[in-house]
A = this chain, B = another copy of it.
């Protein structure tokens, strides 16, 4: 199904640039809140069957059964990735196969049928193409893509829903990095995010509403975000509400392992690789609070922020300050990754996927 984008058959097809038009958005003021766009992607599948090709439909409310698995039992996963507009006019994606894979892992945990990797990536491409004019100009931000896989079938007892919906919408977002200085995190002593034998290792919707309250409390106290400790011992650091965490000391970069309680971030994985490329030793292992307090540098990674330095961590009544700025490893890694994402340096790792046109 061809997306109903500017290149309709009634418009003479010139080059994609000639047809290209930007949506009426103030690109200078992009943040991270929803700007509804023209189209979204929808596909449904019954339990025990597979997803077939979905459709691009106008963006808007969807009808859902009050008895749907997602509304009653939280049977839902989401993903988050970005489309970039490069200086030479291409539109690209960053490692969408990794999001596809993560959705599959999550679908297995929540007993849902998942789209195949190929279906996932094709759906992302279609959705971006249909909303091409919402991809910000180079340097102004990116198009955030939000795939959802939700149980939409009606189910009364606790069980997997009889129908799933794979849906995707987008919103232009700004560059998080430039928006503020380093993060000021607070270590939470009351709330925990995830436990072994739970769903912390997948991008399940169930991991997020429980975080709204601690996050709100942290922000009300002037912090940027929360650093969660592990639920089992309360001694090791896990992750921040929507990003992974790294600490550095000398040549060693350490980050908590993906053993089921933290999200295996795609940025985390990519940054680990880049850090190794420039000679750092990257260790995935339990990181205690003590080590955190003695680190030279702390930074977070995630699709929204890419890489972001942590300026301070507050633990009980201690407030630790870390290295940030030009000399920081996080600054270097941020540049390395965004240069790849924006097509400024050669993509030797084949991380970027180009969206060529609407017959993609």
Interface of A toward B, CB cutoff 8 Å? 32-34, 36, 40, 59, 61-67, 69-76, 78, 109-111, 144, 146, 148, 150-151, 154-160, 167, 169, 171, 173, 188, 190-199, 204-213, 215-216, 231-232, 241-242
Contact = CB atoms under 8 A, between A and B. Distances in A.
A64 B62 contact: yes
Nearest to A232: B232
A2 B196 CA distance: 49
A206 B195 contact: no
A216 B159 contact: yes
Given A34-B67, A210-B206, A158 B73 contact: no
26 contacts: A34-B67, A34-B154, A34-B156, A61-B65, A61-B66, A70-B205, A72-B76, A72-B78, A72-B146, A73-B208, A74-B76, A74-B204, A74-B205, A76-B209, A110-B210, A111-B216, A144-B156, A146-B156, A157-B242, A160-B212, A192-B196, A194-B195, A195-B231, A198-B231, A206-B207, A232-B232
A283 to B, nearest CB: 26
A232 B167 CA distance: 36
B208 A72 contact: yes
A265 to B, nearest CB: 15
Most buried by B among A155, A188, A208: A208
Contacts of A198: 191-193, 195, 210, 231
Given A61-B63, A158-B242, A204-B209, 7 more contacts: A40-B66, A62-B64, A64-B64, A72-B78, A158-B212, A159-B212, A206-B209
Nearest to A219: B159
Given A110-B210, A209-B151, A215 B158 contact: yes
Contacts of A208: 72-75, 158
A64 to B, nearest CB: 5
Contact of A110 (B66, B196, B212): B212
A195 B210 CA distance: 12
A71 B110 contact: no
Nearest to A233: B232
Contacts of A207: 74, 206
Contacts of A191: 197-198
Contacts of A188: 197
Contacts of A205: 70-74, 206
Given A156-B33, A160-B212, A210-B206, A66 B167 contact: yes
Contact of A62 (B33, B66, B111): B66
Contact of A66 (B148, B159, B215): B148
A219 B213 CA distance: 35
Contacts of A69: 209
Given A197-B192, A210-B206, A231-B198, A70 B67 contact: no
Contacts of A199: 209-210
A215 B213 CA distance: 29
